[in-house]
Amino acid sequence: MSARAPEPAERSDWRGEGVAVSEVAAELRRLTAEHMHHEHGHASTWTLNLIVTPARRDRVQAGLDSLHERIPARMVVLHEHEAERIDAAVTVHCQTGDQGRRGYCHEEIDLVCDRAHLDRAGGVVHPLLVADLPTVVWVAGSDTRAAEAVAPLAERILVDSAAGADAMAALRRAAALRRHGHVDDAAWHRLDRWRKRLAGACDPAPGREVALAADRLEVRHGAEAGVLGLLLAGWAAARLGWRDLRLPPGPEARRGTAVRADGAPVAIDLVPFDGPPATRVIGVTLGAGEREIRLERPLGPRPPETLADTLAGMADPAPGYDDALRALGA
Amino acid sequence: MSDPPNPFEQDLPRRLIPPTILVICGVTGDLAARKLLPAVYELALGGELPEEFRLVGVARGSDPEHFMARARESVEQFARSGLDADLWGRVIAPRMSYLDGDLTDPELFTRLHAHLDELDAAAGVRSQRLVYLAVAPSLFGPAATSLGKAGLARGSDPQVKVMVEKPFGRDLESSRALDAAIHGAFDEPQILRVDHYLGKETVQNLLVFRFGNGIFEPVWNRRYVDNVQLTVAEELGIGHRADYYDRSGALRDVVQNHALQLLSLIAMEPPATFAAEAVRDEKVKLLRAISPFSAEDVLRDTVRARYTSGEIDGEPVPGYLEEDGVPAGSTTETFAALRLEIANWRWAGVPFYVRTGKRLPVRDTEIVITFRPAPHLPFGPDAGAVRPNQLVLSVQPDEGASLRITAKAPGPEMRLRPVRMDFQYGSAFMRASPEAYERLLLDAMRGDATLFARADEVDAAWRVVDPVLAAWARDEAPLDHYRAGSQGPGSAEQLMVRDHREWRRL
């Protein structure tokens, strides 16, 4: 592997309490300009604006770190506090260019706001965005009001419906956000390979015959991947023309039914398994009488893991997702 | 009655890869070790390979055990993601097998056919077969013929495609002979000619740059462009490849393939779609529009030269004739420069300068489009000279683009200065680009031939360089010299000075 040696990094920051957004924007411009005149010569580089809605810091930190390494973005991270004011921290991260080349900078702006400001967060955030770049809103927590407030600024809204405790509620929240723009669900991207594998298994005609005549579907998944099971079942139902999909939660597994286009019933089991990988699908079986397509662990071990992976792999639009949600009644 | 469509395929972003067996002939060689096996591994790691994928290595003088050990070593050493032992043991190794034999022995291919059928029978599938001839070009023809006799070529079911790597011949005549030999067994759609430059992300980005940005196309023509320079410079010498290189030279090694491929992408008309035939049709039209060299043109518009001893990175390096394995009295060029003209409405009168060389001061592949100067400058004589706008598209090593524009220097006076706006691919998309061979193998499996050279492209490119090769072979153009680590020979500089232009400094 020809790994590049890490380039030396520099950072500078500014903090303020009870600030106006115009003040934050001015400090951001000042810090950026300072770095441009730095002895190494830095230039700001962005490929997107990223707005992060309030969530536990530890939950978003890994995602932001992956972005720092991979995707130069202007990041505006929202937090909530009780005090009726906005506190701000601006950090400019710069990679120092080697061999006389320019280094590159990108910024993170942390805004700590009261509820009232969060409820109109669109106006708070807007002056801090780089014009003309795509804007992604990452709904990192369950603050739907803040998400609704910034969603109109976004070309894409990134959610992870597998992150919440209530799977169907998470899918309904994702579905509700679709009216603002294109929703990218990280849980859906974790299914990319399974969808490809199911399609691959149906490519020789015998596999296709099984799928079209399927009378049962079983999705085996990790203990924390119930949403993935639901989405895969919803997608299969949408593509195979099943209707009346019902998947009520059970004490151990979701067991439900659907009705094939010819009226025949389909039994569906979403079966959780303890042990790793807790957040992944483990296997899928699509059966028609004696015949079945049975898929186990995928070929490659690396589905999207980080926020940067998900952003890099986003398709436009994510085909099949809306149909899967509709089939699930979300 | 036709089969019903695959209900799940509509949501896939790319064409589904059918069950595939990749046969690598010459699997113990350098190309397989450094490029092909690591590429297959990376594709497996990325989940890109189909469920039913198998790899069959074919070579002489090894055995399955050694092959497996060696393949693992190659991945350990050359795969960009490093070896994942679990993946190797669970996914890759069980899908690999080895067949020993001499590629000149037709019986080997009969055994190969039987082996492929056995693999398919065991898996209960019918797999497409890709046969990568990672062997000396002299074996392309005999191997193709043997594949044909063994029923692994035209008309075979399942389909067989053959992949061959440049050089496709050493001149127009030998290229056509090679093509005829391969076509003796395979139809054109079954032949995938690999020019690994086309698999590079940044080469593909040239097309996006040109056809995905509305601001460039209106000025991409003779009305606005003064000249185009294409440079493929290498710091390296010939290494241990003296035997190959001395029979090839810079013109065959780089200009006939990589450079003309780049040039065709830069200068071709916009294709209606990004489909293989649409893109390749436009490339061929462009290559055919390059004005052929007459004997006088060769003397006037081409430069050949050879490096002498000098310094690279502050270290002394030998001259070409002192390199290991180079025959005494060799007249092979290590530098070539050409002035080309494209006889069509878009480019008539715009010179395209192409240069390539070894032991130049830096490794750099770039395309420089110099625009015509502003027709009138209202700033007065004290403002300073204005340099024309220049767009530089860098292919390697620092992929990106820069635009030279003129700006006012701060101060009370009107002083004009050139400034550069930079875009660096690596800083905007900080994601490791796949190796060229990963993309090419994937496209081959998908059945997408866009990034492979078609026979008529190769033929058209040979027709451009063939008169030059012939004249150089007759020693009709002098062989110049340049010091290793320098900008190239003086005659190349003269080629530009004569036109009142200059090369962009390396």
In sequence order, the β-bridge partners of residue A291 are A288
Closest CB from A195, A300, A320 relative to B87:
A300
Averaged pLDDT score across all residues of chain B: 91
Q: Chain A residue with minimal CA distance to B20? A: A200
Q: Are the beta carbons of A208 and B86 separated by less than 8 Å?
A: no
Query: Which of the given ranges, A40-44, A287-291, B43-47, B396-400, has the highest pLDDT on average?
Result: A287-291
Residue B18 sits at the chain A interface (C-beta within 8 Å): yes
For testing contact with chain B, the best of A191, A193, A196 (most B CBs within 10 A): A196
Sheet containing strand A281-288, strands side by side: A243-246, A254-259, A265-273, A216-222, A281-288, A291-295
Residue A71 sits at the chain B interface (C-beta within 8 Å): yes
> pLDDT at residue A130 above 50?
yes
3-state secondary structure of A218: strand
pLDDT tens readout for residues B123-165: 888 999 999 999 988 899 999 999 999 999 999 999 999 999 9
Residue A197 sits at the chain B interface (C-beta within 8 Å): yes
Residues in chain B closer than 8 A to A104 (CB atoms): 424, 427
Residue A70 sits at the chain B interface (C-beta within 8 Å): yes
Residue with tokens 């410079």: B233
- According to the model, what pLDDT value does residue B473 have? 92
How many alpha carbons lie under 13 Å from residue B204 in its C-beta half-sphere?
17
- According to the model, what pLDDT value does residue B432 have? 63
Closest CB from A1, A204, A205 relative to B80:
A1
pLDDT tens readout for residues A243-296: 999 999 888 889 999 999 999 999 999 999 887 777 888 899 999 999 999 888
What single string gives the DSSP state of each residue in A75-123?
EEEEEE-SSSS-EEEEEEEEEPPSTTPPEEEEEEEEEEE-HHHHHTHHH
Domain boundaries, given as residue ranges, for chain A: 9-154, 192-301+316-328
> pLDDT at residue B281 above 50?
yes
Distance CA B360, CA B488 (A): 7
pLDDT tens readout for residues A69-99: 667 788 999 999 999 999 999 998 877 665 5
| Nearest residue to B179 (alpha-carbon basis) of B499, B490, B460 | B460
Residue A194 sits at the chain B interface (C-beta within 8 Å): no
Q: Chain B residue with minimal CA distance to A312? A: B431
**pLDDT tier for residue A2 given thresholds of 50, 70 and 90:** very low
> pLDDT at residue A305 above 70?
no
- According to the model, what pLDDT value does residue A92 have? 86
Closest CB from B3, B8, B82 relative to A205:
B3
For B:101-140, CB contacts with A below 8 A are 125-126
**Chain A closest CA to B47's CA: distance in Å?**
4
> pLDDT at residue B182 above 60?
yes
For A:2-41, CB contacts with B below 8 A are 2
Residues in chain B closer than 8 A to A43 (CB atoms): 422
pLDDT tens readout for residues A158-207: 998 988 778 888 899 889 888 887 888 889 988 888 898 899 888 777 88
Tell me which of B183, B258, B376, B481 is the catalytic residue: B258
Closest CB from A204, A295, A312 relative to B431:
A312
Q: Residue B136 phi/psi, 5° resolution? A: -60, 145
- According to the model, what pLDDT value does residue A302 have? 58
Q: Chain B residue with minimal CA distance to A294? A: B51
Question: Averaged over B2-27, what is the pLDDT?
Answer: 86
Question: Averaged over B414-418, what is the pLDDT?
Answer: 84
3-state secondary structure of A133: coil
**pLDDT tier for residue B114 given thresholds of 50, 70 and 90:** very high
**Chain A closest CA to B483's CA: distance in Å?**
24
Task: Quote the DSSP letter at residue B158.
Answer: S
**Chain A closest CA to B300's CA: distance in Å?**
38
Domain boundaries, given as residue ranges, for chain B: 15-194, 199-497
Distance CA B129, CA A287 (A): 30
- According to the model, what pLDDT value does residue B326 have? 94
> pLDDT at residue B1 above 60?
no
- Residue A96 burial by Cβ neighbours in a 10 Å radius (0-12, 13-18, 19+): middle
pLDDT tens readout for residues B98-107: 999 998 899 9
CATH of domain B15-194: 3.40.50.720
- CA angle, B250 as apex, B249 and B252 as ends, to 5°? 75
Q: What is the ipTM of this complex?
A: 0.80
Of B1-5, B313-317, B479-483, the one with minimum mean pLDDT is: B1-5
Closest CB from B8, B79, B427 relative to A1:
B79
Q: Are the beta carbons of B3 and A208 separated by less than 8 Å?
A: yes
- According to the model, what pLDDT value does residue A48 have? 83
Higher pLDDT, B399 or B394: B394
3-state secondary structure of A196: helix
For testing contact with chain B, the best of A44, A195, A203, A291 (most B CBs within 10 A): A203
**pLDDT tier for residue A23 given thresholds of 50, 70 and 90:** very high
Residue A204 sits at the chain B interface (C-beta within 8 Å): yes
> pLDDT at residue B226 above 70?
yes
Q: Are the beta carbons of A198 and B8 separated by less than 8 Å?
A: yes
Residues in chain B closer than 8 A to A204 (CB atoms): 19, 125-126
- According to the model, what pLDDT value does residue A120 have? 93
Active site residue B500: no
Residue A248 sits at the chain B interface (C-beta within 8 Å): no
**pLDDT tier for residue A1 given thresholds of 50, 70 and 90:** very low
| Element counts in chain B: helices (H) and strands (E) | 16, 17
Question: Averaged over A8-37, what is the pLDDT?
Answer: 84
Task: Quote the DSSP letter at residue B389.
Answer: P
In sequence order, the β-bridge partners of residue B463 are none
**pLDDT tier for residue A43 given thresholds of 50, 70 and 90:** low
Q: What does the longest C-alpha to C-alpha distance in chain A come to?
A: 73
- According to the model, what pLDDT value does residue A6 have? 41
Q: Which CATH architecture has domain B199-497?
A: 2-Layer Sandwich (3.30)
Question: Averaged over A208-225, what is the pLDDT?
Answer: 92
Percent of chain B with pLDDT over 90: 70
Query: Where in B309-450 does DSSP place strands (E)?
Result: 310-312, 315-317, 335-341, 351-357, 364-371, 390-396, 400-408, 416-424
Q: Are the beta carbons of B51 and A299 separated by less than 8 Å?
A: yes
Closest CB from B8, B16, B430 relative to A239:
B8
Q: Identify whether the C-beta of residue B339 lies closer than 8 Å to the C-beta of residue B283.
A: no
Residue B1 sits at the chain A interface (C-beta within 8 Å): no
Averaged pLDDT score across all residues of chain A: 84
Closest CB from B11, B53, B430 relative to A320:
B11
Q: Chain A residue with minimal CA distance to B2? A: A205
**Chain A closest CA to B439's CA: distance in Å?**
16
Question: Averaged over B432-445, what is the pLDDT?
Answer: 89
Residues in chain A closer than 8 A to B81 (CB atoms): 1
> pLDDT at residue A121 above 50?
yes
- According to the model, what pLDDT value does residue A60 have? 83
Q: Are the beta carbons of B7 and A212 separated by less than 8 Å?
A: yes
Closest CB from A199, A201, A208 relative to B12:
A199
- According to the model, what pLDDT value does residue A219 have? 96
Distance CA A186, CA A306 (A): 9
- According to the model, what pLDDT value does residue A5 have? 40
Residue A302 sits at the chain B interface (C-beta within 8 Å): yes
Residue B29 sits at the chain A interface (C-beta within 8 Å): no
> pLDDT at residue A100 above 60?
no
> pLDDT at residue B410 above 90?
no
Q: Are the beta carbons of A211 and B9 separated by less than 8 Å?
A: no
pLDDT tens readout for residues B330-351: 999 999 999 999 999 999 999 9
Residues in chain A closer than 8 A to B87 (CB atoms): 300-301
**pLDDT tier for residue A102 given thresholds of 50, 70 and 90:** low
**pLDDT tier for residue B364 given thresholds of 50, 70 and 90:** very high
Q: Chain A residue with minimal CA distance to B84? A: A301
**Chain A closest CA to B33's CA: distance in Å?**
14
